[in-house]
A and B are shown apart, each in its own frame.
Chain A
Amino acid sequence: MDLLRFITAGSVDDGKSTLIGRLLYDSKNILIDQLEALEKSTKNRTDGSVDLALLTDGLRAEREQGITIDVAYRYFTTPKRKFIIADAPGHVQYTRNMITGASNASLIIVLVDARQGVVEQTRRHSIIASLLKIPHVVVAINKMDLVEYSQDVFNNIVIDYAEVAKQLGLKNVTYIPISALNGDNIVDRSEIIDWYDGKPLLEFLEEVDTAHDIDLDNARFQVQFVIRPQTEELHDYRGYAGKIISGIYKRGDKVKVLPAGLETTISKLEVGGQEVEEVFAPQAAVIQLADDIDISRGDAIVKTEDTPVVSNELEVLLCWLDDKPLQAGNKYYLQHNSRLVRAVVKSIEYKLDVNTLQQQPVEGGVKLNEVVKATIRTASPLVYDPYDQFVVNGSAILVDETSNSTVAAVLLQ
């Protein structure tokens, strides 16, 4: 059984809560205290129906204060897969929330109200999905019951969205007509939507092929922590612990340590204390090297024949996540996986309109939820790949030196 992380994107009335509630309820993954709440609400209804939106109900503090605390994570399991849903609220601070939730997702469900069709919100969500390179897109055309399950309505939305997808370069787009409220095409195939011959949503989620989402060709590794037991029997042991970001490493591989540029070979590989012949992404491993080289946290170990970019002048897309605006010349910490370096935002070239993708001039500072193209210089070089080619090694964050907040998502170009 494997694991699929996905995010649901929809605006306030698209039925997102009902859809998530329906997935949890129909796949029989309701938590106990949620069932209690459901039972109460059902008792108050004469028709015995269940308010599925209750399953994703917020905290009491949120309801009382009318605030929304960004992303909630929800879990369900079927015999085929374990699922982790990042449920990002649809209104306040949407971009910030969606980026947080989407950064780990390998699939996005874009909800479209069948009565509204492709609207500004749909475009906005899709642009973020394309910026973040989410590998799989499901366009769930919801509320089909309110358009009399019309195939024409569905087809027209598919035509409209295909245009958006083409513009954004979104691949792997799947369209499913659903009614979250009535359960059509969620877990079971809808009997009413008989003109649709694709899979219902859950079946699609269970079967979508994610095996190729992890890059096994280009080997990338960054040192997180140096293990030096310094005991009698392990006196000279020096292991570099970290996550295999991508690719496969084998004992005897010729490797280069970056940014220093020193070459050596892998002498031993371990996973969970057990020696192994090879390690692969996304395993947490320990690498030992043949030569005694000075290596510390944040250094990269890559294969000599396939090296990433090494530079301290960075072209980036920044998604600004903080209330305090960004001005050119501001200094921050930049964190790329485990590597923390000082950085200055040298210049801001343009702002990207997340509704139209048009480039616009930046006036004043960069505000919360804005996406800009910028240039960053770091105090010491970064070892990375362009985000577009290699999401896992092309992403970073900016941290405010004084507040310690995470203020930006950085997509390295």
Chain B
Amino acid sequence: MSKYHLDYLEQLEAESIHIFREVAAQFERPALLFSGGKDSITMVHLAKKAFAPGKIPFPLVHIDTGHNFPEALEFRDWLAKEVNATLVVRKVEDTIQQKNLTEPRGKFPSRNWLQTYTLLDTIEEFKFDACIGGARRDEEKARAKERIFSVRDEFGQWNPKLQRPELWNIYNGRIHKGENVRVFPISNWTELDIWNYIRKENIDLPSIYFAHERQVIEHEGQLVAISEFVQPDASDVVLTKQVRYRTVGDMTCTAAVESTAANLDEVINEIIATRISERGETRIDDKVTEAAMEDRKKNGYF
């Protein structure tokens, strides 16, 4: 192989960096939507590389549901400081108060869909014209068809019928007042690409991505951690299990996976193993279904 050759991770990285620089150049007030998960942590890493030795020329914006893992919040604050980025936090709690929204009820009260209100308010408050998100096209059907530069109207809506053709590597970010663009620099990465890149680049992650002991209850085959937001009923059996998280969202609706994977190699091996058990067979075991549920959870944010 010639020394002038990029492997697939280097090609994906180059493409993403190109996209970040287009955003910084084409928009006046971009923002990176930071959820605290591995995808947005990877995006921060890519943004850092795109603008080195300068600092990242846009703030990290976290829409805080108030149901986050403390480990993820701690990591968020550490990371913002580490890369010297401006961190904007806006709380769903405040939107609920101001707008008198109905707080979701139930045993697993998800504020997931309420995030949209807070996000749109935040966009208005800061007049953001581009919001960079960590969604990937391999996640689900709708994403598979969305552009890298995705124009949204003032309600934040995506109109799949009016998408601009996206040709070569030319990104058209021209918009009218009131519109904004959602930009997805890691569109072409798969979950496994992200993990392999995290390993290659030695990117730090919150500790909950690795196996640890946690008190959990079982709900419809899923393991949900006990926390101030999720309390066991009389019928629940509280178990202490060795678990890790595959995605990091709200404590109320993110399930844990039983695991002994304590480092990146072991996590990647487990993911590959899960994929193999998924493959070729038409029967789906509980573990796989659980993973799919977790993956789907992420939709609400964007």
Contact = CB atoms under 8 A, between A and B. Distances in A.
Given A211-B5, A227-B53, A243 B138 contact: no
Contacts of B17: 272, 284
Residue of B12, B142, B276, B283 contacting most chain A CB atoms (<10 Å): B142
Contact of B145 (A35, A71, A337): A71
Interface stretch (A164-172, A176-184, A376-384, A394-402): A394-402
A273 interface: yes
A404 B153 CA distance: 13
A357 interface: no
A1 B137 CA distance: 21
Given A59-B145, A100-B166, A399 B174 contact: yes
A31 B295 CA distance: 11
A61 B49 contact: no
Interface stretch (B20-28, B63-71, B87-95, B107-115): B20-28
Interface string B2-24: 10111110111111011001101
A273 B53 contact: yes
B178 to A, nearest CB: 12
Contact of B163 (A32, A70, A241, A272): A70
A241 B151 CA distance: 25
Given A242-B21, A406-B172, A229 B54 contact: yes
A396 B50 contact: no
A397 B190 CA distance: 29
A71 B137 CA distance: 12
Interface string A28-47: 11111101101100100000
A130 interface: no
B168 A103 contact: yes
Contacts of B101: none
A243 B14 contact: yes
Interface in A53-80: 57-59, 61, 67, 69-75, 77
B144 A72 contact: yes
A94 to B, nearest CB: 13
Contact of B282 (A42, A72, A73, A280): A42
B122 interface: no
A31 B138 contact: yes
A282 interface: yes
Nearest to B167: A103
Contact of A73 (B49, B144, B193, B295): B144
Given A67-B161, A211-B5, A77 B167 contact: no
Contact of B161 (A42, A69, A104): A69
Given A272-B52, A280-B4, A399-B172, A225 B21 contact: yes
A69 B174 contact: no
B167 A1 contact: no
Contacts of A248: 4
B51 interface: yes
B106 interface: no
Contacts of A404: 151, 172, 174-176
Nearest to B201: A272
A189 B61 CA distance: 52
B170 interface: yes
A59 to B, nearest CB: 6
A229 B238 CA distance: 53
A321 interface: yes
A312 to B, nearest CB: 19
B296 interface: yes
A270 interface: yes
A409 interface: yes
Interface string A74-111: 11010001101000000000001001100110000000
Given A28-B276, A77-B190, A229-B55, A69 B163 contact: yes
A59 B292 contact: no
B167 A406 contact: yes
Contacts of B14: 243, 282-284
A33 B296 contact: yes
B186 to A, nearest CB: 12
A355 interface: no
B278 interface: yes
B160 to A, nearest CB: 5
Interface string B274-294: 011011101110001101100
B105 interface: no
Given A73-B137, A396-B170, A36 B292 contact: yes
A221 interface: no
B288 A35 contact: yes
Given A284-B17, A397-B172, A61 B160 contact: yes
Contacts of B140: 33
A71 B172 CA distance: 17
A408 B51 CA distance: 31
B11 to A, nearest CB: 5
A113 B150 CA distance: 36
B192 interface: yes
Contacts of A281: 4
8 contacts: A3-B12, A36-B289, A72-B141, A75-B137, A77-B190, A224-B25, A234-B54, A392-B168
Given A243-B14, A284-B50, A336-B170, 10 more contacts: A32-B289, A59-B141, A74-B144, A100-B165, A224-B21, A224-B25, A282-B14, A338-B22, A395-B167, A397-B172
